[in-house]
């Protein structure tokens, strides 16, 4: 045990006198518990805490966070402890913790300060709730609510949310904004001829091509079944046509491999509209009208509103 002279000897004696039963009690609890003195030195912990940080109690007691964790993490723990000592009572916060072996967990800390016989703050007791599974689930649900599961592009709802923000920026700063509505040509035939699985792969192929051909700042949305909406910030009318032509020709020139000697060729039609003070709804509607025109011009075509 690395006992330091700054450890409160009365406190240690008190804890030692009472420790067998107390230790037994806290070891039965399945949540990690630790306690420290006011100088930040660990006084004890339960079995769940030993398992959690993967360090034995005997190696823990008498050490502080700077002796146990990397400096960055130690600073965070230290200042949180200090905040509790400065403002005694209960402290709750979420954090990411790393065991001494490096694995990360999301946790919720519930810390309570305790006083000595003179009612002076003497240390703290911390309880850790592992919320990793909950955080992972939240992350998964956010992903599902944000992205289209087939193509990985924004789904319609999230796409329109993001575009709402971009549209506001465009309107306020009088910036250009181009909207491209893109629809796969004769996609029903792909499904009918090769089946839905190949149809799904074709949609992924198109989405991948769009991703590769677009800029980081573009917002790519799977708007419906085989329909995509692309929002290009800061792109004026002339450039919008160039971009749309680039998407169209890139797709028309590529082919998706179905087997060693079978390739699938896909084409798209694209309608363009550009921001001229109209509402976002009108802007999208105009791109739809232009798309209709591109379809009627024998498909594999780009039309501006
Ligand atoms: N495999 C697959 N097919 C889909 C999906 N969503 C929509 N589709 C299909 O997309 C096809 C769209 O067909 P239509 O609206 O008739 O259009 P099209 O055949 O592409 O013809 P044009 O748009 O006029 O060129 C339908 O057969 C839908 O079943 C999907 O997620 N996966």
DSSP 142-180: HHHHHB-TTT-SBPHHHHHHHHHHHHHHHHHHT--EEEE
Pick among 3.40.50.2000, 3.30.450.20, 1.20.1300.10, 3.90.1150.10: CATH of 9-136: 3.30.450.20
Give 119's contacts (C-beta < 8 A, 6+ positions apart): none
Cα–Cα distance measured from residue 184 to residue 225, given in angstroms and rounded to the nearest whole number:
10
- Give mean pLDDT in consecutive 10-residue pieces for the chain, a chain of 305 residues: 50 63 90 94 94 90 91 91 96 83 87 89 95 95 96 97 95 96 97 97 97 95 97 95 96 93 95 96 98 96 96
ipTM for the predicted complex comes to 0.95
Ligand 1 proximity of 247 Cβ (cutoff 6 Å): no
Ligand 1, atom 8, lies closest to the CA of 225
- Angular region, 168: left φ>0, alpha ψ -120 to 50, beta rest: alpha
pLDDT of residue 116: 82
Ligand 1 proximity of 191 Cβ (cutoff 6 Å): yes
Tell me the CA–centroid distance for residue 192 and ligand 1, in Å.
10
204 strand-pairing partners: none
Tell me the CA–centroid distance for residue 186 and ligand 1, in Å.
7
Q: How many CA atoms are closer than 13 Å to the CA of 287, on its beta-carbon side?
A: 31
Tell me the CA–centroid distance for residue 207 and ligand 1, in Å.
15
Tell me the CA–centroid distance for residue 227 and ligand 1, in Å.
9
| pTM exceeding 0.95 | no
pLDDT of residue 9: 58
pLDDT of residue 22: 83
Ordered by start, the domain boundaries in the chain are 9-136, 147-304
Asked if 271 and 303 touch (Cβ cutoff 8 Å), the reply is yes
Cα–Cα distance measured from residue 269 to residue 301, given in angstroms and rounded to the nearest whole number:
5
Ligand 1 proximity of 204 Cβ (cutoff 6 Å): no
Q: Is the dihedral of CA 63, 67, 73, 74 positive or negative?
A: positive
pLDDT of residue 23: 87
147-304 maps to CATH 3.30.70.270: yes
Cα–Cα distance measured from residue 206 to residue 256, given in angstroms and rounded to the nearest whole number:
9
Residues 100-159: tens digit of each pLDDT:
677 788 999 999 999 987 889 999 999 999 999 999 999 999 999 999 999 999 999 999
155, 187, 196: residue to mutate for ligand 1 pocket, most atoms within 8 A of CB: 187
Tell me the CA–centroid distance for residue 282 and ligand 1, in Å.
24
- Per the listing, tokens 């896909």 go with 266
* 33-37 sheet: strands from edge to edge: 42-45, 33-37, 121-130, 104-115, 90-98
158 among known catalytic residues: no
Ligand 1 proximity of 270 Cβ (cutoff 6 Å): no
Ligand 1 proximity of 132 Cβ (cutoff 6 Å): no
Ligand 1 proximity of 206 Cβ (cutoff 6 Å): no
Q: Are strands 227-233 and 262-264 parallel, antiparallel or unpaired?
A: unpaired
Task: Give φ, ψ of 78 to 5 degrees.
Answer: -60, -45
Ligand 1 proximity of 183 Cβ (cutoff 6 Å): yes
Task: Give φ, ψ of 304 to 5 degrees.
Answer: -100, 150
Q: Looking at 226, 227, 237, 245, which residue is catalytic?
A: 226
């Amino acid at each position: 045990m690395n006992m330091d002279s700054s450890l409160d000897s009365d406190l240690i004696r008190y804890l030692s006198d009472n420790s067998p039963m107390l230790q037994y009690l806290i070891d039965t609890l399945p949540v990690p518990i630790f306690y420290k003195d006011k100088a930040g030195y660990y006084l004890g912990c339960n079995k769940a805490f030993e398992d959690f940080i993967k360090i034995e109690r005997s190696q823990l007691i008498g050490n502080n966070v700077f002796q146990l964790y990397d400096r960055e993490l130690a600073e965070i723990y230290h200042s949180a402890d200090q905040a509790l000592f400065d403002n005694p009572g209960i402290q709750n916060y979420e954090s990411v913790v790393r065991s001494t072996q490096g694995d990360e967990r999301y946790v919720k800390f519930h810390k309570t300060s305790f006083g000595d016989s003179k009612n002076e703050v003497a240390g703290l007791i911390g309880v850790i709730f592992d919320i990793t599974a909950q955080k992972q689930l939240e992350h998964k649900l956010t992903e599902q609510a944000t992205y289209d599961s087939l193509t990985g592009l924004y789904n319609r709802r999230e796409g329109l949310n993001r575009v709402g923000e971009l549209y506001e920026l465009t309107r306020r700063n009088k910036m250009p904004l181009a909207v491209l509505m893109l629809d796969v040509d004769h996609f029903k035939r792909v499904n009918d001829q090769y089946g839905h699985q190949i149809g799904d792969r074709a949609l992924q192929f198109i989405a991948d091509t769009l991703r590769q051909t677009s800029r980081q700042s573009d917002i790519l949305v799977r708007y419906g079944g085989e329909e995509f909406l692309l929002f290009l910030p800061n792109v004026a009318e002339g450039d919008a046509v160039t971009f749309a032509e680039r998407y169209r020709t890139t797709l028309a020139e590529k082919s998706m491999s179905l087997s060693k000697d079978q390739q699938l060729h896909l084409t798209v039609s694209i309608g363009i509209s550009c921001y001229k003070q109209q509402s976002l709804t009108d802007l999208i509607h105009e791109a739809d009208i232009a798309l209709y025109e591109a379809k009627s011009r024998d498909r594999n075509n780009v039309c501006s509103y």
